[in-house]
Amino acid sequence: MRVHVIGLGGAGGRIVDRLAADHDGDRFLQGVSAFDTDMEALGSLRSLGEDRRYRFGDAAGGDGLDGDLHAGRELGEVHAGELGRALDDQRPSLAEAFVLVVGVGGAAGAGAAPALAEELGTLYDAPVYSVAVLPTPAESDPDAETGPGTEAAPPAGGDEGSTPRRPLAQRNAARTLEALSERTAAVLPFDTDAWLGPGETIPGARDRLDGIVADRVAALFGAGETDADAVTPQQVLDASDVARAVGDDGEFTALGYATQEVEPPKTESRFGLGLFGSSEPEKVDTSAAVSAVETVIRKATRGKNTIEVPEGRADRTLLVVGGPPAWLNREAIAEGRRWLAEETGSGAILSGDAPVPDGEAVFALVLRSGIDDPERIREIRDSIPDRTE
C-alpha cells in the first residue's frame, strides 16, 4: 500500500524522521514530510532533507506555540492549502492513503492536523488516517515531580531530563482526538504512558518510543508491498483491505505486533554440490513453523498494543503474518485466523501474508478497529467534562 506519511509538530516530525531513516526507498513509502512552526525542531531532523521539511505559520515567529491549541487551529485553517501544496514535489496523487502522525497534546501539530486532513480529503480520492501520540497524565499533573527546565518541552534533540510539564496537554488531546475522529477515516492512538518503563522519563525514552511507532506504521502499510522479483504473497494485502478493516467513521484502531527470530532455510543445489542447476531452499520443520506462527499471532493479540483493547474485542480485525516464505505455514495461519475470530468477536477476519525471502524472523500484525473506548481515552475525554469548543 503506497502511503504519504506526514509528521506534524515536534513528536510527529521525529517519528517520520525515524521512519525515513529506517525505510526511505521502501515501496510503501510514497512520500514523507514534516511540518512544524518550530524552526529548531525541524532543524533537528536528520533523515529528512530540507525539501521534505516545511515551516509554516510566520505569525508564530519560528518558535512553538506554548500549548495554545486555539492558535494552532487558527494557523492550521489559514495554512492548510499551503501545506497541501508543499507535498506536490513528492507526487501525492500516487498515494493510496495519507497518514498524519501527530502528538495530540501539543499545539502546532495538533492544531493543524484536522485542517490538513480536510484539505487532503478534498484534493485526493484517498483516505486520510491519523496516528495520535497521546500525552502522559504526568505532563498535565500540577503535583507531578519535575526537574529544572521542565515547564516546557526539552530541546528538540535532547535525551535527558525529567518528563516535561505541559499543563494543557490533556485538554488539547481531548479536543484534537474529537476533531481527528470527525475528519479522518480512522484514528490510531499510541498510549505513551503505557509504553514507558518504570522510572523512565519521556526525554529518556523518546528515541525508543519513536521507533516503536515508526515500526508499527511500517508493518501495517508496508505489508502488501513487495519488490518485483520477490515471492508473491498467497493472500495479497492491498489498500482496500486496510480501508475495510479500519472503516471510515473515525473510529479508534489498535495495532499489536510481535516477532520471533527463526533460522533462515539454507539453499542447496538440486545436485547436492551447489555447482550446477538452480538452488532450492531446504524444507522447514513443520512443527517449528506452526509453533512460530501461532506464537507471534498470540503475542501480537494479547501483548501490549498501541492502545488498550477492552476485553480484546473489536468490530473488525486484520491479520498479517510475514517472514521467510518457508516458515509461513498455511494451516497455522488459517488456525490463527480462527482463534483470532473467537478472541476478538469480529464477524470476519481480513488477512494477508508478507513473505520476506531474506528475513530472519516471523512476525504478526493484528489490527483491531471499532473497539470500545480504552480507559486512557476516557481519562483524556473526562479532562473536559462538557467537551465543548
Contacts of 41 (CB under 8 A, 6+ apart): 9, 10, 13, 64, 156
Dihedral sign, Cα of residue 136, residue 142, residue 144, residue 145 = positive
Pick from 258, 224, 234: which is nearest to 330 by CA?
Answer: 234
Instruction: Return d(Cα 296, Cα 28) in angstroms, integer.
Output: 23
Contacts of 85 (CB under 8 A, 6+ apart): none
Do residues 69 and 103 make contact, with C-beta atoms less than 8 angstroms apart? no
What letter does residue 345 receive in the DSSP assignment? -
305: its cell numbers: 498494543
Question: Would you say 160 is a known binding-site residue?
Answer: yes
Tell me the CB-side half-sphere exposure of residue 169, using CA atoms within 13 A: 24
Instruction: Return d(Cα 208, Cα 214) in angstroms, integer.
Output: 10
Rg of the Cα trace of the chain? 22
Instruction: Return d(Cα 173, Cα 236) in angstroms, integer.
Output: 36
Q: What is the DSSP string of 128-184?
A: EEEEEEEPPHHHH-TTS---TT-SSPPPTT---SSPPP-TTHHHHHHHHHHHHHHHS
Instruction: Return d(Cα 273, Cα 285) in angstroms, integer.
Output: 23
**Which residues are known binding-site members?**
160
**Which residues are known binding-site members for GTP?**
160
